[in-house]
Chain A
Amino acid sequence: GDSVTQMEGPVTLSEEAFLTINCTYTATGYPSLFWYVQYPGEGLQLLLKATKADDKGSNKGFEATYRKETTSFHLEKGSVQVSDSAVYFCALSLNNNDMRFGAGTRLTVKP
C-alpha cells in the first residue's frame, strides 16, 4: 500500500551543522508530499509541502525537493539551530482521502 519511510532517529547535531533527514515513498499514483514538525508538547505544524514532481518546498531555512525518479522527499537545512530540535514527520496524501505519515525522526541540536 501507499506508505512513507523516513530515516530512524534520533539525530543529534551541533548548532550550525548541515541537516538531512531522508524520506522515501511508495504510492500508486502521484501524491502530494509534506514535512510536518512537532515541537515538544505541541501538535504537528506543516513545515513545507510539494504537490508535483520537481517542486521544491521551503520554509524557515528548510527545503525538500519532490523527486519522482527516486521517490524521495529528503528534508535539508544548511545550518541548524537549537530551536530546530523537534520531531519531523514526512507524509503523503493521495486523492484527499487519506494521509500517511512516517514514523517521525527526532532531531536534537546541541549548542
Chain B
Amino acid sequence: DTAVSQTPKYLVTQMGNDKSIKCEQNLGHDTMYWYKQDSKKFLKIMFSYNNKELIINETVPNRFSPKSPDKAHLNLHINSLELGDSAVYFCASSRRVSFNEQFFGPGTRLTVL
C-alpha cells in the first residue's frame, strides 16, 4: 500500500503550457511538501502546507502554486512552463510541520521542451 503517491511519473510538455502534478498520502499526515530536485541532484523545498498555513520558499516563482482539495492531497500547478522547470519533483508528508520524519513520494520527472 503506497504511502505517498504521485501522478504522473513522467511528464513531457512544451514551453508555455500549464500542467499539474498530483500528490496523495494515505498516512493521515497533516502536512505536505513539494521539493524540486535539479539535474545535479540538489533537493530544494518549494512549499510546506497544512490546513492552516502555507509556507513558500521565496525563491519559487509565482507560476508555481500548490492546491489542496483536502488534507490527503496537495497538487502542484505550474503555469507558463519554462525550460528551467525541467526537474524531478517530489511530494512528501509528515505528521505535523516537522522535518524530523518526512515520507517521500516516488517523484515526477518533468521535461519541458
Contacts and interface: CB of A to CB of B under 8 A. Distances in A.
Interface SS majority for chain A = strand
Interface string B8-52: 000000000000000000000000000000001111110000000
Contacts, number: 52
B87 to A, nearest CB: 14
Interface residues of B, number: 21
Given A99-B45, A101-B42, A103-B40, A43 B90 contact: yes
A97 interface: yes
Contacts of B42: 101, 103-104
Question: 10 nearest interchain CB pairs?
Answer: A43-B104, A93-B99, A104-B41, A101-B43, A44-B104, A99-B99, A43-B106, A43-B105, A99-B45, A103-B42
Interface of B: 4, 40-45, 55, 90, 92, 97-107
Interface of A: 32, 34, 36, 41-46, 49, 51, 87, 89, 91, 93, 96-99, 101, 103-104, 106
